[in-house]
Amino acid sequence: MRHKSHKFQAFVKVSPAAQDAGGGSVALLPGQVRRMAILGEQHGTGRRHFFTALVTNEGDGSDWLDAGHEIVTVTIRGEELAEYFGAGDRFTLWLGDEIADGIVMGRAVA
């Protein structure tokens, strides 16, 4: 079975526990790629499922975003990913614990 790759951009709100004293993210540093767990919910069924993803914070938009908010690119492999991660869908990022809530903005441009 061959898994397809799915890449999207997302707006995330970093939880207070994952922020530094200035409100910036310690888990999603600009220029960093991190492997994380991502929890999505399947359309129609409401079934929740964890996936493994690579999350990149390229630092885009930091001049207009307030503390605790980031725009990230998520790369994930699996089956039926569009059932979980379409534009407007919500998800949660985990790195040991829940670190951010997010919403899919759309497919990432390669």
Domain 4-107, CATH: 2.40.30.10
Over its length of 110 residues, how does the chain's per-residue pLDDT go in tens digits?
567 788 999 999 888 777 666 666 667 777 889 999 999 999 989 899 999 999 998 776 556 566 678 889 999 988 888 899 999 999 999 988 898 999 999 887 65
Asked whether the beta carbons of 2 and 63 are under 8 A apart, the reply is no
Domain coordinates in residue numbering, the chain: 4-107
Ramachandran region, residue 96 (left: φ > 0; alpha: ψ -120 to 50; beta: rest): left
- The pLDDT, as a whole number, for residue 2 is 64
Strand ranges, E, within the chain: 4-14, 32-41, 48-57, 69-78, 90-95, 97-107
Q: What's the pTM? A: 0.83
